[in-house]
Amino acid sequence: MRRIPDTKRVGRLQPLILVLGALATTAGAQDTAPPEAAPDSKPPPKSIDSNDDLLLFEDVPVVVSASRRAQKLSELAVPVSLVTWKDIHYRGVTDIAQILTQVPGVNVLRVDRNRWAVGVRGLHHEFADRTLVLINGRNAGSPVVGGPDFGVLPVLAEDIERIEVVRGPGGAVWGANAFNGAINIITKKPEDSTGYLATTRLNEYGDSNSQLRWGAKGEKWAFRVSAGYDEHETSEDTVANDTFFSRDFARTIRYDTEGVYNFDDRTRARFGIAGAHTDRGDFEFAGYWPMVDERIDQTRLFARVEHEFESGSSGYLQWFGNVASENRPTMWRVDSFENDLEAQYAFDTSKANRMMIGGNVRFIRLDQTVLSAQDIIFPDGDTDEVWFGAFVTDRWQATERLALEAQFRGDFYTETSADWSARLAALYALDKGQKHVVRLAAAKAFRAPLIALRGLNSTRGPLPSPPMPPGLFAVTLLPPDDLDHEEVYALEAGYTGRVTDDVEVRVNSYFQRYESLIGVTTIVAEPFVGTLENIDGANGYGVEAEISYTVDKARLYAWYAYNALDTDQSGQDVRAIYPAEHSIGLGARWHFATGFTANADYRYTSSFETSPLSTTATEGTHALDLAVTAEVFKGKGEIQVGVEDVFDSTDGPITGYGSTVSQELPGRTFFARLQVKF
Q: Which of 589, 591, 571 is nearest to 521 (CA)?
A: 571
Spatial distance between the Cα atoms of 166 and 174, rounded to a whole number of angstroms: 11
C-alpha distances (whole Å) from 329 to each of 114, 152, 296, 370, 656 are: 16, 17, 11, 10, 17
Quick check: 19 pLDDT over 80?
no
Residues 6+ apart with CB under 8 A from 239: 650, 664, 665, 666
For the stretch 94-142, pLDDT in tens is 999 999 999 999 999 888 888 898 999 988 888 778 999 999 999 999 8
174 backbone dihedrals φ, ψ, rounded to 5°: -110, -5
C-alpha distances (whole Å) from 651 to each of 4, 104, 206, 249, 663 are: 20, 22, 18, 17, 9
pLDDT band at 47 (very low <50, low <70, confident <90, very high): very low
Neighbours of 505 (CB within 10 A): 14
DSSP sequence for 23-91: HHHHTSPP-----SPPP--SPPPSSS-----HHHHTTS-EESTTTSS-EEGGG-SS-EEEEEHHHHHHH
Q: Which of 605, 35, 644, 58 is nearest to 318 (CA)?
A: 35
Q: Which of 677, 640, 646 is nearest to 201 (CA)?
A: 640
Q: Which of 392, 435, 351 is nearest to 67 (CA)?
A: 392
Rg of the chain over all Cα atoms, to the nearest angstrom: 24
Side-chain-side CA neighbours of 468 within 13 Å: the count stands at 13
Strands 62-63 and 71-72: antiparallel
DSSP sequence for 551-607: ETTEEEEEEEEEEEEEESSTT---SSBPPBSEEEEEEEEEEEETTEEEEEEEEEE-P
- The one-letter amino acid at 461: G
- Average pLDDT, integer, range 130-158: 92
As a whole-number percent, the residues of the chain with pLDDT over 70 amount to 88
Residues 6+ apart with CB under 8 A from 295: 278, 279, 325, 327
pLDDT at 666: 86
Spatial distance between the Cα atoms of 333 and 291, rounded to a whole number of angstroms: 15
Residue 658, sorted as left (phi over 0), alpha (psi -120 to 50) or beta, turns out to be: left
As a whole-number percent, the residues of the chain with pLDDT over 90 amount to 63
Contact (CB, 8 A) for 486 and 447: yes
pLDDT at 58: 40
Spatial distance between the Cα atoms of 276 and 135, rounded to a whole number of angstroms: 14
For the stretch 197-247, pLDDT in tens is 999 999 998 999 999 999 999 999 999 999 999 999 888 888 876 667 888
List the single range of 294-308, 519-533, 562-576 with lowest mean pLDDT.
519-533
Contact (CB, 8 A) for 413 and 381: no
CA angle centred on 76, ends 306 and 509, rounded to 5° = 145
Contact (CB, 8 A) for 597 and 629: yes
Quick check: 146 pLDDT over 90?
no
Residues 6+ apart with CB under 8 A from 593: none
pTM of the prediction?
Answer: 0.91
Q: Which of 299, 386, 374 is nearest to 341 (CA)?
A: 386
For the stretch 377-404, pLDDT in tens is 766 668 899 999 999 999 999 999 999 9
User: H or E element: which one contains 369?
Assistant: none
Q: Which domains does the chain have, with CATH numbers?
A: 7-677 (2.40.170.20)
For the stretch 416-437, pLDDT in tens is 889 999 999 999 999 998 999 9
